[in-house]
Amino acid sequence: MANKIISINDKMQKGYTYTLSEPVGKNFDSQFKPDLTPKQMLALGVFGGRYMRDCQKEFPKDWFTRAKLLPRDVEKPDKVLNYFGVLASQSLAIWRNKGWIHKDDPRGWFQWYCRYYMGRRSDDDKRQIKRWKAMTRHVAQISTHCRVGDIFCRPRQRQAVLHWAYDTRKF
């Protein structure tokens, strides 16, 4: 695969470029095995429909065909658009204060994952994969406290885990 340069000029990034060096959806770190693709996550309903509304040109059009997104002029997330019908995210301001935002991905983990999925590899990959792996404690709590098939047990925790590409409908 020849490397492809992507140039970004959207609401949160101007003049940012990155290189796609891997095939789409392939050659992930051996420790990173997400259950869901970004397209699947967007179709299920994540982040109250507020995420990725002004940067769609960066990603494949088909990711947004069934995506549950708010109109661009709506600022407040809508829990109805989330798969489990609850809000389970903290604000971007909180993410920034906790140091979870890397300069290359000002929207956070999901932006990193979308770009990683598309084939970008960066100096932030190890940190983000470590954060993704840390979500297994929530997966364990759901598995311990909920009957198999009861997808509405612990809906807020399930929604939060869904935001990290774990398919919480499976456990």
d(CA 108, CA 96): 9
The CA-based dihedral angle spanning residues 39, 40, 46, 51, taken in that order and rounded to the nearest 10 degrees: 0
The separation between CA 37 and the C-alpha centre of its own chain, rounded to angstroms, equals 9
| pLDDT in 10s for each residue of the chain, 171 residues | 579 999 999 989 999 999 999 999 999 999 999 999 999 999 999 999 998 888 999 999 999 999 999 998 898 999 999 999 999 988 888 888 998 899 999 999 999 999 999 999 999 999 999 999 999 999 999 999 999 889 889 999 999 999 999 998 888
Kindly state the tokens that stand for 151.
Answer: 């997808």
| Cα distance from N-terminal residue to C-terminal residue, the chain | 37
C-alpha closest to that of 170 among 145, 144, 139:
139
Q: What is the CA radius of gyration of the chain?
A: 16
C-alpha closest to that of 111 among 18, 29, 26:
18
d(CA 3, CA 144): 44
d(CA 130, CA 135): 9
- For the chain, the domains span 4-162
pLDDT at 1: 59
pLDDT at 51: 86
